Structure 1
Amino acid sequence: MSQVTVTQLAEVLGVAVDRLIAQLNEAGIEVDDPSAAVTNEDKKKLLTHLRTAHGKDDAGEDTGPRKVTLKRKTLSELKVPTAGAGRTRGRGAAPSRTVNVEVRKKRTYVKRGAIAEQEQTDPEREAAARALEDARQEREEAERIEREEAERRQREQEEQAKQEEEARKQREAEEEARRVEAEKERALAEAQARVEAKVARQAAEREAERKRRTATPKGPEDSRTRYGREELHVTPKSKRRKPKRKGRSATTSVGTEHGFQKPVAPVKREVEIPETITVGDLARLMAVKAGEVIKTLMGMGSMVTINQSLDQDTAILVAEEMGHDARPAEARDIEQELVAEEEDDGMAKAGRPPVVTVMGHVDHGKTSLLDYIRRAKVAAGEQGGITQHIGAYHVKTDNGVVTFLDTPGHAAFTAMRARGAQATDIVVLVVAADDGVMPQTKEAIQHARAAGVPLIIAVNKIDKPEADQDRVKSELSAEEVVPEEWGGEEIFVPVSAITGEGIDALLDAILVQSEVLELKAAPERRCRGVVVESALDKGRGPVATILVQDGTLHRGDMILAGEEYGRVRAMFDETGQPIEQAGPSIPAEVLGLSGVPNAGDDVLAVADERKARDAAEQRKQSAREGRLAEKQAAKLQNLFDQMSEGATGEVQNVNLVIKADVQGSVEALRDALTRLSTDEIKVNVVSSGVGGITESDASLAQASSAVIIGFNVRADASARKIIQEADLDLNYYSVIYDAIDDVKKAISGLLGTETKEQILGLAEVRDVFRSSKLGAIAGCLVVEGVVKRANPIRVLRDNVVVFEGELESLRRFKDDVSEVQAGTECGIGVKQYNDVKVGDQIECFERVEVQRTLD
């Protein structure tokens, strides 16, 4: 007899040992130890016990209940309106009472085996069930037939109604057509009758006139008038007639012509042209058809539509071309009103500090020179060691206050340097003594000349061994900047930004020059100034650096800056300290504007907020109309370019979205990258602005397939999500020439490759041999380079190409070789060419593909 332990049996059955011991004890088998033995008899007892516990007998038959009845009871509340609910409608909620509802459900479940047994043992029940099923099917068939019959009757009724509706509409249409036809006939008859009556009346009048002219003078007995009527008299006895009025002709002819006389010469009109005007409005002002204006513009080389906007200059040219006198319209200018309000010659003026702009080539030491003057370290904080913003500082010296503007020297910041020269009194031109005059040095001289401000030359880096001041003076003299010791007008000051040598002399020269200029300002008047730089700060909003040129700017003043306006909520100096006011020639950082103004915009403090708002709206409208006119002109120019290109292929576009920290950087990046455009690839700046990269910027880049460039800004979370999902190209930069170089590389990649020919060698034909198998064989001497058998060749005669092909054979003595070096004789057989002559030259070359670049 096989025996197993309790533990082994539990592992086989997959139950816990404690549970198995409990089941054995319930079956009457006394077991306490897991290691106790379990016999086969014990196993049978355990199996019988478990079957009994699960509702089966010893034979395996189910002994459980054959039917289970479930009873459920649910309670709910129901609100029922009372009898007076109808009378209280419209006067609030109707009264109601709550009724408790008790739902009792009883459901009986029977085992399938019991149902099957009952069906087998009860044939009468089965027959009754079949009868019920047949009756149910007959009832469903009758219902289906009745439903189909009802649907058929409904379709027939709808079809009949539809036909009746169509017949009614047709009758109405026929009646309407008959009515319209009758009205036309009646109108035609009335018009014909009017015409006939008019013709008859005119004929009668002509006949009466003819009779009157041909009739004899009336006698005393004739009582008829000249129109053939009987004379009417107030008193029958009176024979006296009313006297005729003097000065009136006895005969009056009734003319039927209109009073308009055709002009014998073209009408010349005076036309006032606003800043922008559409083609249709211009035609109405000149009282001509719009087609004539469009024809004139097409003759001038512009293809326009009737609704296209024209700028003022173009409209004046068109009006003068069509023979009219045109002049600009004198519209109501709110800005002129604001300026006129501020004019007051009686205000006392006092001296103001000079505004000095430091200009020069990149890396010539402009910012380092200012660092020494300010005793600060600004250059170290600039990315790449170059200045990329206009910095405004005022410095207190022993001789007075001087305001400095530090401008970038990189070529991309031309507009910034131009703004610095316009807003300044004196320009300090920094030239490195070891580098001399460079391109941006010449440009700074031109900006200073254009602005009409005096120059002071600071020759920097004189502490270097390779410094050469005379070279700098000579090169500047070539640019018409002559030092005083050479008989010129410009002051030259040698300085060193490292050792501080010459700094005091430079400051003295600045103050002397400012005394000569006699700089004056009225501190008591309202502020006038210029926006030096602007940015969008995430926490503070629009921030503008303003240089006060006249008057005093106070915290709380209402200012107008370009297209933006607002009240000054806070002011800070260049070190970030809050200030309450800024006087003439003092820079200040201002918060509170409605938006980010453009760098270079004029600033005006006003007393009336409404006028400031109106002036800002007027400037925005003018700028919008100007941009619209430029966009239309650009579209037409693109159309003409495409028409002129014809089959040369499409121009590829590189779309960019530019975001930067300040307005000046946006302007510099946009101008520098746009100038990279070529005839084949156009750089298109889809959007540019100040501030971080937002979700709208990313969506715009996705829609226009643009590359996003962030200059000292970053993308927010929502923008980064769109950029990752759309796999957009996002590039961050902190140095401007890195951005320019990357875009230049991308454009160069789009240009593709071009095939260039490179000459490998040249051989002279010394003699020609004839071969029955190979034809003419040229005995040659390689004079330059190398001649290779696998490369194409040209045959030159008197330096003129007479054949271009390939070599058939290249031999050195009797051996075939792949190449022959210079100074070596060889035999050359030209494939499919036998007209080789002594004195010809055979040129060997190769074609290589080279990547195209913008340079």
Structure 2
Amino acid sequence: MSDSTDKPKLGARAPLGLKRTVETGKVKQSFSHGRSNTVVVEVKKRRILGRPGEEATPAPEPVAPTPAPAARAPEPAPAPKPAQPRPVDSVQTRKELQERLLREAEEARLASLEEARRREDKQARAATEEEKKRAEDNRRAEEEVRLKAEEEARRAVEETVRAVEETASQPTAAEETAEAPRPGQPRPPRQAFTPVKRPEPARPARGRDDHRRERGKLTVTRALDDSGDARARSLAALKRAREKEKRAHMQSGPAAKQIRDVVVPENITVGELANRMAERGADLVKALFKMGVVVTVNQTIDQDTAELLVTEFGHNIKRVSDSDVDIQTETDVDAAETLQPRPPVVTIMGHVDHGKTSLLDAIRGANVVAGESGGITQHIGAYQVTLADKSKITFLDTPGHEAFTEMRARGAHVTDIVILVVAADDGLKPQTIEAINHTKAAGVPMIVAINKIDKPGANAQKVREELLQHEIVVEDMGGDVQDVEVSALKKTNLDKLLEAIALQAEILELKANPDRAAEGAVVEAKLDKGRGPLATVLVQRGTLRVGDIFVAGPISGKVRAMIDDHGRQVREAGPSVPVEVLGLSGVPSAGDTLTVVENEARAREVAAYRQGVIDRKRTTSAPASFDTMFSALKEKQAVEFPLVIKGDVQGSVEAIVAAVNKISNDDIKARVLHAGVGGITESDVNIAAASGAPIIGFNVRANAKAREIAERNGVAMQYYDVIYDLTDAVKAAMAGKIGPLIIENVVGRAEIREVFSAGKHGKAAGLLVTEGFIRKALKARIMRDDVIIYNGSIASLRRFKDDVPEVRAGLECGVTFESHTDIKPGDMLETFEIEERERTL
């Protein structure tokens, strides 16, 4: 091999030697989360061409010392090669190197951040709650490692930049050649070299003409932008453009006919149909006349005729049923941000002789003392009281429970709080228990007012203990029901009662939207001789104003005038304000909902639909029975079955309630709305009618008034005298078993006038037949105060000492009964027949 120091010929390559032209090495790369990688880097030397006559020697390179084997003797060091001039580094090359190093460091940092984000997303999706906590700890550790790696990368970049600057300050290649190391001197350290990426060519800048050509229409941002040198369009140019568009629009001809989707109910007037089609009413009348139908604008046409008109005029028809005409209040819910606080509505209930009226008068007197002027007219059923802190309370005066139950039956929960008045010297009475059941059925909170505490025999603690029997636990005994001891006569603790009402209202957070069309409930209505139909309305939401058009049940009207509880005329009434409204077309029912509509046509349409529903229900509805009620509930898979239970004694009632509750299962559950002792009254029928529940009587009967209301409202009543028969019937009905339908037909009623001794038969009764007829061997029952005291049959029937088979109404007769002697004058006799029918579904 030739010597490496021999000079090559001019234009020829240097001979091959032992020296390396490609330097290799390893570089360790550090990433986030403690990761690293080792790569191999090759550095190629640049060929240096010198001037003619000079040697082209490469730059001196450091040689890594190689440890010699222990057995080999050290060889003499070779003679140093002559130094070669270093390449001349330009300023542009150093700048590009610096930018590349910074860019690579930034890309490495972004890559590490992206990798960390991906790992965190993957861990967050796959981890549970416990794994999330562990991942959070790992993330914190990784964050520390990442920050440490970024800091190391930043330091490495700074060191690289500093090395580049030091290299730039070193002497040029000519100086290095002049100061080349002499033989025997160590070579300077070699500078690491990295390939440089070529710079991207600069993009041509967009010219001014191009900007103006792609500018498009003038915008506010471009008009106010002073950065560009392009001029904005002048106002004259904009005006000319608008005029050009206007001329083009006028020359295009008449506008195309607008096709509408017309909503048509089953019956509609010609004028209303013309409004919905946006056509003239005369055109519709003319089109109908051509079809052979002679009508006026105010006449009503059916849906099929309306469809012909809509199609004739090129519109689309959308049929709706009559039920869609009615106002849907369930879907009309106010937004939460529109609600504002409103006064509470309080109803005072209780026994007649326990001081309801006296307490109302006392509160009214306290209101006058507080600064309210004037009294309250007797025919108004509601009024407001202003407290010392300017807050108001609306009191609802319902003489009976009928209005309260009617409102609940129609879903109008008018009352917010119920005050139960109980006399401290009398305790709980049957009407008090009825009021408690009404309150529970309505689902409103209760405040107990123990009245007459000034009387000598008053015992408030006894009243609290009696309330426990009906699951009413007052606060003094660890419950959540407030109780206040008051005296309406001495006006004692009236302020505490008002404070209790205010506290309960604050807990309820009563709110309503006053800025909408009014909606309220009719408390009572009547026909005044001079002013016509009147209705006392309690506004529930919105504001009722004079001139509003409204619908109340099947009655429509327009508010002509409003009178408040002090007899003064007012122009508007907000939520929880009671007013008397004039301007109705008829007398609505208590509990009807008053709703303000947009126009009179809409009011007449809704009122006519509701009246039609009432007429059809009155003429076609069949009374519900106990068995059909259970069958319907079985078909609908009802989860609750309401019941009203009345018995002769408290023990029997408790046993029946417990037995009915045990029958309940997961599919159907019995819900006892009211259970009491005594005969079936009008209040029981009202509760059953409000919830659609049958009434079960155990050894009791209903009075004449209750029977009349039950027949009118279609309330089913069933009577039993054996508790096992009652539970078996309820169990069979709830399970949906098919059995015979037992119908009891009452054939006669009579009044016992006198009682005589009848020898071996015990006693005989002298009767006056009032209804139907009395026949021998018929089933009979004797009732005293609507409670059954005998259930058997008639043993003998006589008239003027002669045995007769039958006695008609209006005649007197004598009867004897089998094994019964407890007969008194004034008892009522009832005969009936049992009929079994096959049940049909």
TM over 0.5: no
